[in-house]
Amino acid sequence: MNVSLDLRIEQAPGENGGGEWMRIGDELHREFNERVRALSALVQGWVVYEIMEQFWPQARTDESLPDFMREYGELWTTAPKVLVSRTRHTADHNTRIIGGDDAIGQLATLRAETDGTIGVGGATVATQLLRAGLLDELLLFVHPVVLGSGRPLFDDHDGRVELDLLEQQSFPQGVTMQRYAVVS
């Protein structure tokens, strides 16, 4: 997830996990591509999925975009995806939909049956998985800005979560990547 220093994913309603405060350059985007390429599946909440669905399928063949963006479009479009939604019943681009009252149970089954790493996109889904003890790691791309208000990475969480730093890396424009193991 892309976050501010105060762990916000958007400052204003409607930014939907984005905003002008994010500093995503070539090198950082290429890192995103490598991380997605290594995943066995993507789990996305409906907000993240619908944002991605509006742009990335067309981006993969848009010659006006840089090669790393076209590549990400291809990666996102072809990767196995799980959309967590109570309202959508159809989706394209190699996407399966789960929802209802037992979405977390279905995700636990998916996790048990999947070899490799499953990526998660979306604050609501991430919070629910953290509460259920189904997140093994957090991968954060921290942008050098304090937003002060807006949507937090995690919804209200009622317990402490201990983390161990596994990896860190710096990128141009002051962005850092931190990967943590969830200990508790």
CA atoms within 13 Å, Cβ hemisphere of 119: 23
- Summarised one tens digit per residue, pLDDT across range 88-102 is 999 999 999 998 889
Does domain 2-182 bear CATH number 3.30.540.10? no
Q: How far apart are CA 145 and CA 166, in angstroms?
A: 23
CA atoms within 13 Å, Cβ hemisphere of 153: 16
Q: Work out the end-to-end distance of the chain between its first and last CA atoms, rounded to an integer number of angstroms.
A: 20
63-83 mean pLDDT: 97
- Summarised one tens digit per residue, pLDDT across range 22-39 is 999 999 999 999 999 999
Instruction: Let me know how long the chain is.
Output: 184
Instruction: State pTM to two decimals.
Output: 0.91
Backbone dihedral angles phi then psi of residue 111, each to the nearest 5 degrees: -60, -45
Domain boundaries, the chain: 2-182
Write down the H helix ranges in the chain. Answer: 26-37, 46-59, 67-78, 103-113, 123-131
- Summarised one tens digit per residue, pLDDT across range 135-169 is 999 999 999 999 999 889 888 777 889 999 999 99
pLDDT, residue 17, reads 63
Mean pLDDT of the chain: 93
Closest among 176, 145, 123, 154 to 20, alpha carbons compared: 145
pLDDT classification of 13: cutoffs 50, 70, 90:
confident
pLDDT, residue 138, reads 96
